[in-house]
Amino acid sequence: MKITLATLSLICLAVFSLPVKAQDSGADTFTAKCKMCHGADGIGNTPVGKMVKIVSLKDPAVVSATDADLIAIVTNGKNKMPPNKGKLTDDQISEVVKYIRTLQK
């Protein structure tokens, strides 16, 4: 099955529109909002990740980014990643960044 950019956009819109409970852990939020593109391990070896050429969360540039940098990216989006501002709380975003750090080990 070939995924078009339009299909990818609709899938991302649907996923990012799903509500996530405020009490969810960073892992739960990552699974609900990030895993489809970034994969369970954060490497981006998923059909969507490959299509949009996602940078691995284990890439040295991502590993060396500050938590504030990652929070800004998750909040505001970057390149083809849509913003999560208004979709996730500040606490959820912080917890996702903490979880991303565990994937980098």
The CATH number that applies at residue 96 is 1.10.760.10
**Cα–Cα distance, 101 to 58 (Å, whole number):** 9
The SS3 call for residue 88 is strand
CA dihedral 28, 62, 78, 36 (to 10 degrees): -40
At residue 29, does pLDDT exceed 50? yes
5 or 17, which is more confident: 5
Quick check: is 3 in a domain?
Answer: no
- Domain coverage including residue 91: 21-103
**Cα–Cα distance, 35 to 12 (Å, whole number):** 11
At residue 15, does pLDDT exceed 70? no
Number of structural domains the chain divides into: 1
Quick check: is 9 in a domain?
Answer: no
Average pLDDT value for the chain: 87
Which pTM was predicted?
0.77
